[in-house]
Amino acid sequence: MRTPIIAGNWKMNKNPQETQAFLEAIKGQLPDPAQVESVIAAPAIDLNALVWFSKDSALKVAAENCYFEDEGAYTGETSPKALAEMGVDYVVIGHSERRQYFHETDEDINKKAKAIFRNKMLPIICCGETLETREAGHEVDWVVGQIKAALAGLSAEEVSKLVIAYEPIWAIGTGKTASSDQAQEMCHEIREAVKSLYNEQTAENVRIQYGGSVKPANVQELMAKPDIDGGLVGGASMIPESFLALVNYQK
């Protein structure tokens, strides 16, 4: 059985004081991590506060990006080794915003996934198609291609533990959620792709999130789908009450 995983992605929002206020507001209200894993992906400058909070709570912490080398002369980059030493659990890689604005390639994403495993953290690997690709009917090939490239060279054991986030670009921050059937269909295709690349057990183990205008009002419908194991949530994860409603969707 896969443990559901709901992750907030704050993107480039919240300073350390705002982070502290958010954490005060959610204290003691996260679900049992055996039922639902609660994660926040935050800007690097906020991670320290989140890691301290996580020591005493069910929260898991994600960085929103890292570099694929552990250290060196890479001004402005974030070291995966330092993130791991700090106590970060997950790193989000391949978000469409990083692919679009920072020209992150499939090859970079694959190198980052390896760096994350090398440092004993887990990647949340994002994938998703543009509206144009969907309208042309190529969305499955596109997304499966992204997944194959991201997973190249990873072992079945590693893939069993990582998280894939399917985020159709046309549903991000637009208020336009993919229907739960559309989300389920693609998450199913991704699981099938993992099965053909690895094996049935790996496909059964890998957790697949849907992201794109997830909110308290639609989280239950999405989570009821058999291949959707969680959500990667932008806008609706920023307010404590809303984040709590999402992670406590089973109550």
Which residues carry a binding-site annotation for substrate?
A: 9-11, 173, 213, 234-235
Residue 95 Cβ, how far from ligand G3H at the closest point, in Å?
6
Per CB under 6 A, which region of 29-37, 75-83, 134-142, 211-219 contacts ligand G3H? 211-219
Per CB under 6 A, which region of 102-110, 131-139, 153-161, 227-235 contacts ligand G3H? 227-235
Pick one of 102, 136, 173, 200: the residue that binds ligand G3H (CB under 6 A): 173
Give alpha helix (H) positions in 71-138. 80-86, 96-101, 106-118, 131-135
Per-residue DSSP letters for 133-158? HHHTT-HHHHHHHHHHHHHTT--HHH
Choosing from 64, 158, 167, 189, which is the catalytic residue?
167
| CA angle in degrees (0–180, nearest 5) for 8-211-69 | 70
Distance CA 174, CA 168 (A): 11
Q: Which residue has the tokens 């994938």?
A: 127
Between the two ends of the chain, the Cα-to-Cα distance in Å is: 19
Pick one of 9, 19, 79, 160: the residue that binds ligand G3H (CB under 6 A): 9
Q: Is 211 in the site for ligand G3H (CB under 6 A)?
A: yes
Q: Is 50 in the site for ligand G3H (CB under 6 A)?
A: no
Query: Residue 79, CB half-sphere, CA atoms under 13 Å: how many?
Result: 12
Q: What would the x/- binding string for ligand G3H be over residues 80 to 119, using CB under 6 A?
A: ---------------x------------------------
Task: Give yes or no: 188 in active site.
Answer: no
Q: Is 234 in the site for ligand G3H (CB under 6 A)?
A: yes
Distance CA 190, CA 251 (A): 28
Q: Is 128 in the site for ligand G3H (CB under 6 A)?
A: no
**Paired residues of 181 in beta bridges:** none
Task: Give yes or no: 167 in active site.
Answer: yes
Nearest-CA neighbor of 181 among 222, 209, 138?
A: 222
What are the residues binding ligand G3H (CB under 6 A)?
A: 9, 95, 167, 172-173, 211-214, 232-236
Catalytic residue positions, numbered: 95, 167
